[in-house]
């Protein structure tokens, strides 16, 4: 397996010497689902922002698909984001005055898809996420779970190498959170989507192939998770006789 | 198993095999396999304590079937069980004992212990989640899984606390 | 409660220092423009009357070799309320290489009852050899304070209404502390300013045998008014637009910001503020900014105003008004603060009525998700994605789009109005007939007809005379043209020019006053004999409110004494040279109407450009404030655009495309609106001739508005666009 993302000594310091990230080395393989957890302020969101070029590292390297991207200009990063990355945010960040369809098609159109192609892909995506009938709705009228699914569709329209998700369930009730996680799991399990996901929710992190636990700007511990083999819930209950 | 059987008998007299079936029907996949012997042993203990009584019903060409029913004492015992709140699960955590003692004795790195434990909990959580995918609308099973997952999440949070206070 | 108010207001203002500063700048600009405007307008109503009052101008001046007894007799004539006598002689001086006639007068006392020169620059002469020079004379001859020439040293310049501006009226006036001369000038103020003819007659009767010359204040007034009319209108238009601009700027900037605060208003209500409390808080907050900004604006305005007031005073021949009079300053302050309070209260009240939950939600997201008509059009036009986004974005919020379009339209209107003024001047220069002067040159010597006709460059010449005739409702001003009038065609918008004796044309004022129409017949008494004329046309007449009648001299039963010779040159001749030649041949002054207008235009340019600049500056501040506000509100959307792969240039493109779309609408609306407003103001300010002389900027000049507005929009979008492009996406998107 080829690594899609590699970072070496990735460091981000803010003004006043605050170190959000202190030399992180991470490698994400193609088709891998990596969760980043840790208490707030541990640097997990900073890591994600750096991987997506929304923020710039103070030092260190980022490789995406085998090429260095850390020195890219804002404009080149924009191209990287539209062609190779998909973003999902905690607060959905849909554009309120565009319809669901427009929101999803937007990055496709920006990346140069024809209007037809964008429409077709959007239709397929919304259908597969179970919100096909909401295409003409305004995002503001949707529930949180629906909005996040729209955001995921938007992130996937350009068939990105990597999906970057920042607390995608953080603003959702547990039922909506489960819906959204099901969508992400499907994308990964069935279509091999590479995902890097930041969360403070252990339950969400447990879906990943690998969990990076961060502390104070560094990866403190790494857990590899195996697909569960249990076929029955019966061993959860122990009736005393 | 005493109180579940008493509770089932509150619905009316039943024989041992019917009780086993009723249990399986209520808890479905959640319940580990029960053998009939377990049921009969419990029933005879209950009878010994005067909580249930039995009548033999003749069956053609086969041994008599014993039909159990609640006695007054049994009904009172059951009433007490239902009325009382179930005591909170008490923490009887092997890991915690291991962590404290191993740390005191200097025979293991507490951080490593915690990390290993976290791996185990996360893996358990993952398996729970995978199992959850197979419940197919079984509400009892889903509730049980949620309960277990919440316990695991609490355990993971507690590990974080342990790490902060005892980790080094 | 008061503490809570204070803390909230302070926190709100400090939380957004940029917006607060911008609001303050807008109010500052508005206050500055208002002070300048009020100062300019104060001098506009009747500039000549102001100058008359300022200098206690004489209603009648008598010139002659008068004894003290003569003077006393004149002063005692009935109707005289004040008089002042001073020595006067005509002298000559060489100035700038030419010899000019100078009227040298004794400097009157500072408290002289009549005709006190108003010193506009330098000081009054105090010692022999020091001179005070009339301002227009000094300007024309290039004299400055401190200059020395044959008559003495110039120590000051002054304005007077003794005579109209030099060189229309000459000789140029100079005052010296002591003038030794037999000639004297007696200026009198009359009980009834209209009774000048009666005074002249009485003076002649009182001093039989003495040669007397008179100057009637009406003559001074007519010359100055004729000269200043167009300027007054132009300044008037610009100041009206400025008042409009001030109101508009305050309205949009403040309303815009208050509307953007709907979410905060929702929060205030959530913690227990009443709607009235909300309004009080916001009004107090903006009044606090407004007070500081407006006070600074008053200072700036008072400092800038003289830059415009001085050329205006020159143009209008009045003493320079002071910008530092307390009443207009106070008025400006009150007006600005009232506007601030009003335009805060209205949107705050509206916002206060919005359901609290809705208001809280409003701040987060809005919009229906449906494409606006403009966005659909953009899609239909197959514009690139970025442009479509921009257009869609621009029309997302109707109130925001309206606000921006209004700000842009206002700029276009200003531009069109300025271009229209320019076009009007052009039209009048190209066609002196539009000022009822359909000739190339006018020679003030009626006997010189033959000499003028002899000039090689003269194509046609005739005589013109002015006379009073008696119409059905009293005296009318009339002009008659001599033979050969066919070569001098007045501008006649309705009907036609008269073609034969017995036909006449008249200005709008005469038709209106007498209730006549083109085609009617009118009988007037000329020297007691009736003359019946057929009105065949209405001509453009700037004088006497258009109550002027013009007809061929041959219509009259007996010839009248001509006043001047008018002539047209052959096309392509050097008019200035020909005029000098004619002056040489006839010994009389030759006046080229075209040069007059050209001079006027040069005079008014600084005012026109200055006030237009002020307007454009106010418009720019307004536009910038609006766009900044709009962009700030959209920061989150722009961050999302960036997160999904829009380049910084793409973001700029979105902002610019939106701005361009709004700019296009502003141009489409603004150009006709500007023409309409200019026409309306012109007609309103000058009913008799306004509509006839209005120039419309050519299509090319109007087309220039397009790149200008787009450039201004791009420039104004650049700052907010760049801010949007640079804002840290991560920060914006995490904040909720």
Would you give per-residue pLDDT tens digits along chain A (241 residues)?
A: 678 999 999 998 887 778 888 888 999 999 899 999 988 888 888 898 888 888 888 899 999 988 998 888 877 887 888 888 888 888 777 777 677 888 888 788 777 778 888 888 888 888 888 888 888 888 878 888 888 888 888 888 888 889 998 888 888 888 788 888 888 888 888 888 899 999 988 888 988 889 998 888 888 888 888 876 655 555 565 554 4
Among C335, C303, C307, C304, residue whose Cα is nearest residue C320: C307
pTM value surpassing 0.90:
no
Question: Chains A and B: how many Cβ contacts under 8 Å?
Answer: 83
* C734 at A interface, C-beta within 8 A: yes
Q: Hey, where are the domains in chain A?
A: 31-53+73-226
Q: Which two tokens stand for residue C610?
A: 């200055």
pLDDT score, position C359: 46
pLDDT value at C334 more than 80:
yes
pLDDT score, position C369: 45
Cβ-proximal residues to C312 (8 Å cutoff; 6+ apart), any chain: C40, C43, C231, C235, C607
**DSSP state, C364?**
T
With vertex at residue A198, the alpha carbon angle to CA A195 and CA A204, rounded to the nearest 5 degrees, is 80
- Which 666-725 residues of chain C touch chain A by CB within 8 A? 725
- Coil, helix or strand for A63? strand
Largest CA distance in chain B: 73
Distance between CA atoms of residues B55 and C147, nearest Å: 142
Q: Are strands A33-37 and A194-198 parallel, antiparallel or unpaired?
A: parallel
Distance between CA atoms of residues C292 and C288, nearest Å: 7
Cβ-proximal residues to C71 (8 Å cutoff; 6+ apart), any chain: C83, C85, C184, C186
pLDDT value at C365 more than 50:
no
Query: In chain C, which residue's Cα lies nearest the Cα of A98?
Result: C369
Q: How far apart are the first and last CA of chain B?
A: 44
Query: In chain C, which residue's Cα lies nearest the Cα of A49?
Result: C730
Dihedral-angle region of residue C619 (phi above 0 means left; psi in -120 to 50 means alpha; beta otherwise): alpha
Do chain C and B touch: 3 or more Cβ pairs under 8 angstroms?
Answer: no
Distance between CA atoms of residues C92 and C141, nearest Å: 13
pLDDT tens for residues C261-296? 766 776 666 666 677 777 888 888 888 888 999 999
Helices (H), chain B: 2-9, 16-27, 36-48, 72-83, 94-105, 110-132, 139-166
Average pLDDT value for chain C: 79
Q: Higher confidence at residue C39 or residue C262?
A: C39
pLDDT value at B66 more than 90:
no
Interface test with B, best of A36, A189, A203 (most B CBs within 10 A): A203
- Coil, helix or strand for A80? helix
Q: Hey, where are the domains in chain C?
A: 1-59+219-364, 66-210, 369-431+595-736, 441-591
Average pLDDT value for chain B: 81
Interface test with A, best of B29, B122, B163 (most A CBs within 10 A): B122
Rg (chain B; Cα; Å):
23
Give the start-end residues of each E strand in C381-527.
441-443, 458-471, 474-481, 494-495, 503-506, 521-526
Cβ-proximal residues to B140 (8 Å cutoff; 6+ apart), any chain: B26, B27, B28, B30
pLDDT value at C731 more than 80:
no
* A226 at B interface, C-beta within 8 A: yes
Q: How far apart are the first and last CA of chain A?
A: 51
When CB atoms are compared, the residue of A221, A225, A237 closest to B115 is A221
The CATH code for residues A31-53+73-226 is 3.40.50.300
- Which 31-60 residues of chain A touch chain B by CB within 8 A? 39
> For chain A, which residues lie within 8 Å of any Cβ of chain C, measuring from their own Cβ?
45, 49, 52, 54-55, 74-75, 78-83, 87, 89-91, 93-100, 102, 106-107, 109-111, 136-141, 154, 158
pLDDT value at C366 more than 80:
no
pLDDT value at C69 more than 90:
no
| Average of per-residue pLDDT across C183-212 | 89
pLDDT value at C34 more than 50:
yes
Q: Do C640 and A95 touch (CB under 8 A)?
A: yes
Q: Do A93 and C643 touch (CB under 8 A)?
A: yes
Helices (H), B60-138: 72-83, 94-105, 110-132
pLDDT score, position C131: 92
Query: In chain C, which residue's Cα lies nearest the Cα of A166?
Result: C734
pLDDT tens for residues B70-104? 888 888 888 888 888 777 766 667 888 888 888 88
Q: Over the range C472-508, which residues count as b (16 or more CB within 10 Å of their CB) and which as e?
A: eeeebbbbbbbebbeebebbbeebebbeebbbbbbbb
Distance between CA atoms of residues A169 and A176, nearest Å: 8
Distance between CA atoms of residues C440 and C578, nearest Å: 10
pLDDT score, position A236: 60
Confidence of residue C429 (pLDDT cuts 50, 70, 90): low
Q: Higher confidence at residue B35 or residue C173?
A: C173
How far does the CA of residue B96 sit from the closest CA of chain A (Å)? 20
**Interface predicted TM-score of the whole assembly (ipTM), two decimals:** 0.80
How far does the CA of residue C612 sit from the closest CA of chain A (Å)? 38
Residues of B in contact with A241 (CB under 8 A): 1, 38, 41-42
pLDDT value at B8 more than 50:
yes
């Amino acid at each position: 397996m080829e690594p899609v993302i590699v970072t070496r000594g990735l460091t981000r310091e803010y003004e006043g010497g605050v170190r959000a990230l202190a030399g992180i080395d991470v490698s994400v393989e193609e088709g891998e689902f990596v969760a980043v957890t840790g208490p707030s302020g541990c640097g997990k969101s900073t890591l994600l922002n750096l991987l997506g070029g929304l923020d710039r590292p103070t030092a260190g390297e980022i490789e995406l698909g085998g090429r260095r991207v850390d020195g890219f200009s804002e404009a080149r990063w924009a191209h990287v984001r539209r062609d190779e990355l998909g973003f999902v945010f905690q607060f959905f960040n849909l554009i309120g005055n565009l319809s669901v369809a427009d929101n999803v098609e937007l990055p496709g159109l920006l990346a140069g898809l024809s209007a037809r192609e964008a429409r077709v892909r959007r239709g397929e995506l919304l259908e597969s996420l179970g919100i096909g009938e909401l295409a003409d709705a305004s995002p503001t009228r949707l529930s949180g779970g629906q909005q996040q699914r729209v955001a995921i569709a938007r992130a996937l329209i350009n068939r990105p190498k990597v999906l970057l998700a920042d607390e995608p369930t953080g603003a959702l009730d547990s039922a909506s959170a489960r819906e959204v996680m099901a969508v992400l799991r499907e994308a990964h399990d069935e279509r091999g989507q590479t995902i890097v996901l930041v969360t403070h929710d252990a339950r969400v992190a447990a879906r990943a192939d690998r969990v990076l636990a961060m502390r104070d700007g560094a990866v403190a511990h790494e857990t590899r998770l195996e697909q569960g083999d249990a076929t029955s819930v019966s061993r959860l209950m122990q009736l005393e006789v | 198993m005493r109180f579940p059987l008493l509770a089932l008998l509150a619905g009316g007299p039943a024989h041992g095999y019917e009780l086993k079936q009723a249990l399986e029907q209520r808890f479905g996949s959640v319940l580990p396999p029960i053998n009939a012997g377990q049921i009969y042993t419990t029933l005879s203990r209950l009878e010994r304590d005067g909580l249930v009584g039995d009548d033999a019903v003749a069956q053609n060409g086969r041994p008599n079937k014993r039909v159990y029913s609640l006695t007054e004492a049994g009904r009172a015992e059951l009433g007490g069980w239902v009325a009382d709140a179930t005591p909170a699960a008490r923490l009887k955590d092997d890991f915690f004992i291991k962590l404290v003692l191993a740390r005191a004795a200097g025979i293991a790195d507490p951080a490593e212990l915690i990390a290993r434990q976290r791996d185990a909990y996360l893996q358990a959580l993952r398996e729970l989640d995978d199992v959850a995918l197979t419940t197919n609308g079984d509400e009892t099973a889903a509730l049980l899984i949620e309960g277990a997952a919440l316990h695991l999440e609490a355990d993971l949070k507690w590990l974080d606390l342990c790490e902060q206070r005892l980790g080094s | 409660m008061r503490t809570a108010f204070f803390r909230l207001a302070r926190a709100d203002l400090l939380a957004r220092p940029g917006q607060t500063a911008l609001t303050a700048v807008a109010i500052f600009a508005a206050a500055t423009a208002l002070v300048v405007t009020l100062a300019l307008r104060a001098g506009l109503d009747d500039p000549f009357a102001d100058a008359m009052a300022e200098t206690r101008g004489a209603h009648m001046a008598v010139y002659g070799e008068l004894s003290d007894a003569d003077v006393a007799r004149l002063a005692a004539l009935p109707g005289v309320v004040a008089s002042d006598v001073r020595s006067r002689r005509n002298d000559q001086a060489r100035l700038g290489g030419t010899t000019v006639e100078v009227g040298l007068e004794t400097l009157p006392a500072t408290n002289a009852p009549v005709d006190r020169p108003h010193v506009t620059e330098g000081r009054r002469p105090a010692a022999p050899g020091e001179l005070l020079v009339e301002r227009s004379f000094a300007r024309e001859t290039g004299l400055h304070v401190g200059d020395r020439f044959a008559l003495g040293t110039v120590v000051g310049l002054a304005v007077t209404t003794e005579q109209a501006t030099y060189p229309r009226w000459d000789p140029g006036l100079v005052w010296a502390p002591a003038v030794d001369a037999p000639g004297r000038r007696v200026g009198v103020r009359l009980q009834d300013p209209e009774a000048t003819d009666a005074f002249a007659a009485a003076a002649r009767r009182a001093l039989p045998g003495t040669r007397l010359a008179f100057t009637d204040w009406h003559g001074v007034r007519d010359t100055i008014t004729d000269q200043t009319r167009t300027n007054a209108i132009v300044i008037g238009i610009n100041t009206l637009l400025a008042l409009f601009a001030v109101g508009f700027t305050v309205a949009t900037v403040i309303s815009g910001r208050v509307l953007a605060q709907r979410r905060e208003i929702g929060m205030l209500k959530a913690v227990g503020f009443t709607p009235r409390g909300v309004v009080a808080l916001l009004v107090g907050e903006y009044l606090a900014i407004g007070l500081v900004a407006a006070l600074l604006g008053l200072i700036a305005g008072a400092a800038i105003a003289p830059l415009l007031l001085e050329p205006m005073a020159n143009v209008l021949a009045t003493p320079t008004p002071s910008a530092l009079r307390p009443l207009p300053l106070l008025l400006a302050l009150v007006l600005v603060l009232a506007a601030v309070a009003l335009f805060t209260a209205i949107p705050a009240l509206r916002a206060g009525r919005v359901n609290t939950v809705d208001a809280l939600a409003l701040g987060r997201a809005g919009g229906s998700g449906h494409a606006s008509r403009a966005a659909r059009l953009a899609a239909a036009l197959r514009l690139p994605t970025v442009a479509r986004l921009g257009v869609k974005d621009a029309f997302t919020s109707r109130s925001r789009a309206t606000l921006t379009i209004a700000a842009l339209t206002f700029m276009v209107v200003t531009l069109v109005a300025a271009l229209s003024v320019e076009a009007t001047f052009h039209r009048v220069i190209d066609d002196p007939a539009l000022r009822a002067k359909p000739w190339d040159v006018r020679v003030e010597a009626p006997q010189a007809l033959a000499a003028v006709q002899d000039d090689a460059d003269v194509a046609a010449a005739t005589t013109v005379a002015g006379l009073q005739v008696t119409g059905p409702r009293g005296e009318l001003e009339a002009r008659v043209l001599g033979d050969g009038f066919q070569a001098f065609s007045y501008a006649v918008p309705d009907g036609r020019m008269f073609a034969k004796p017995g036909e006449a044309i008249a200005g709008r004022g005469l038709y209106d006053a007498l209730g006549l129409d083109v085609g009617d017949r009118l009988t007037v008494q000329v020297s007691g004999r009736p003359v019946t004329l057929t009105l065949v046309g209405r001509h453009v007449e700037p004088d006497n409110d258009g109550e002027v009648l013009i007809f061929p001299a041959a219509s009259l039963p007996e010839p009248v004494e001509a006043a001047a010779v008018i002539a047209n040159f052959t096309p392509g001749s050097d008019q200035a040279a020909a005029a000098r030649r004619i002056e040489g041949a006839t010994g009389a002054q030759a006046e080229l109407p075209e040069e007059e207008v050209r001079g006027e235009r040069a005079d008014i340019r600084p005012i026109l450009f200055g006030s237009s600049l002020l307007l454009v500056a106010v418009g720019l501040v307004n536009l910038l404030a609006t766009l900044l506000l709009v962009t700030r509100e959209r920061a989150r959307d722009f961050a999302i655009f960036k997160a999904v792969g829009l380049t910084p240039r793409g973001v700029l493109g979105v902002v610019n495309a939106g701005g361009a779309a709004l700019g296009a609408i502003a141009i489409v609306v603004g150009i006709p609106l500007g023409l309409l407003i200019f026409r309306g103001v012109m007609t309103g300010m000058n009913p008799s001739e306004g509509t006839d002389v209005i120039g419309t900027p050519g299509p090319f000049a109007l087309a220039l508005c397009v790149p200008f507005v787009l450039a201004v929009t791009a420039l104004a979008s650049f700052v907010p666009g760049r801010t949007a492009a640079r804002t840290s996406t991560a920060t914006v998107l995490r904040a909720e």
